[in-house]
Structure 1
Amino acid sequence: MSIWWSLHLRREAASVPLARRLLLGTMESAGVDPDVSYDLSIALSEACANAVEHGGGIGRDGGGEAYRVTAYLDGETCRIEVADSGPGFGGVSRDSRPMSMEAEDGRGLYLIQELADHVHIGTEPGLGGAVVSFDKILKWRKDASPLMAV
């Protein structure tokens, strides 16, 4: 089974739980193990919070007031991408870690890296704006239908 969806959301704090609830509902319907769903929902929340906080500026949408969330469940993998029209990461590397647990910035990206199997942090080529994408291998609930876990 393959499921995908894409949202264009306003850069408002209220958009973060909306994206999270849609992801959790999709995962539950597909029969994904709740622990995996929870990890992905936390990672998605962190990526969305980054877009809300830092994704401003003038971008391809004309005002930087929106960001995009796309989720793909395909076979045994889920890929999530969050893209905004802000200034991008400008030097933040995939392996960046917060200086300490008291650090004001950087903990969200660190958390995403800990919860996902593969993470890519970058800037959209030719368009600007930050892109955070991450994958996780899915596990299925014991009671999931064989059609769901295909």
Structure 2
Amino acid sequence: MSIWWSLHLRREAASVPLARRLLIGTMETAGVDPDVSYDLSVALSEACANAVEHGGGAAFGDRSEAYRVTAYLDGEKCRIEVADAGPGFTRAQEIRPARADAEHGRGLCLIRELADHVHIGAKPGRGGTVVSFDKMLKWKKDPSLLTA
């Protein structure tokens, strides 16, 4: 089975749970194991929160107040990409664990822990950052998509 969707969202906090709910609903309908769905939904929430907080800029033209989320469920893998129009992320900005008492700075580390593969880089030629991650899927026994 192959499912994909893409959203263009405003850089507002309310967009984060919207993207998360759409992902969870898609995975539940497809029959993905709830633990895998939960891990990916937390990782997606962190990537979206980073786009909301840091993703401003001119890369989307006049739509710098937007970011894009794309999810692909294809075969045994789910791949998620979150692209924003911010200043970009360079290799010099190393991802380090946040201090235990820090209120910010844990998102990218969490994504790395919850996903199988993570890539963070600048969008070619347009500026901004793309956070992409994937995870191998596990399936529950009675997916609703197959029984509907």
Please give the range of the TM-score, normalised by the shorter of the 2 chains. Answer: over 0.9
- Matched with 1:41 is 41
1:78-97 pair list within 5 angstroms = 78-90=78-90, 91-93=92-94, 96-97=95-96
SS at match of 2:96: coil
Q: Residues 45-56 of structure 1 correspond to what in structure 2 (within 5 A)?
A: 45-56=45-56
SS state of the match for residue 113, structure 1? helix
C-alpha distance in 1, partners of 2:146/2:126? 39
2:142 maps to amino acid: D
Report sequence identity in percent: 77
**Deviation above 6 Å: which 4+ runs of structure 1?**
none
Distance 2:145 2:20 in 1: 25
Aligned length: 146
Output the CA distance in 2 between the equivalents of 1:63 and 1:147.
Answer: 39
Partner amino acid, structure 2, of 1:135: D
Q: CA offset at residue 132 of structure 1?
A: 0.2
Q: Which residue of 1 aligns with 2:142?
A: 143
Equivalent residues of 1:57, 1:85 under 8 A apart: yes
Supply the RMSD in Å over aligned alpha carbons.
1.7
Secondary structure at 1:39 match in 2: helix
Question: Is the CA contact (8 Å cut-off) linking 1:98 and 1:105 kept in structure 2?
Answer: no
1:132 equivalent in structure 2: 131
TM-score, scaled to structure 2: 0.92
**Cα shift at 1:64:** 1.3
Distance (Å, rounded) in 1 between the aligned partners of 2:144 and 2:8:
31
The 8 Å contact of residues 60 and 66 in structure 2, kept in 1 or not, is answered as no
Mapping of 1:108-119 within 5 angstroms? 108-119=107-118
Partner SS, residue 45 of structure 1: helix
Query: 1:142 Cα shift?
Result: 1.9
Q: Give the C-alpha shift of residue 59 in structure 1.
A: 1.8
Task: Report the CA distance between 1:89 and its aligned residue.
Answer: 1.2
TM-score by length of 1: 0.91
TM-superposed deviation, 1:79: 0.1
The aligned residue for residue 61 of structure 1 is 61
Distance in 1 between the 2:50 and 2:123 partners?
A: 16
* Cα offset, 1:92, TM superposition: 2.6
CA distance in 2, matches of 1:45, 1:36: 14
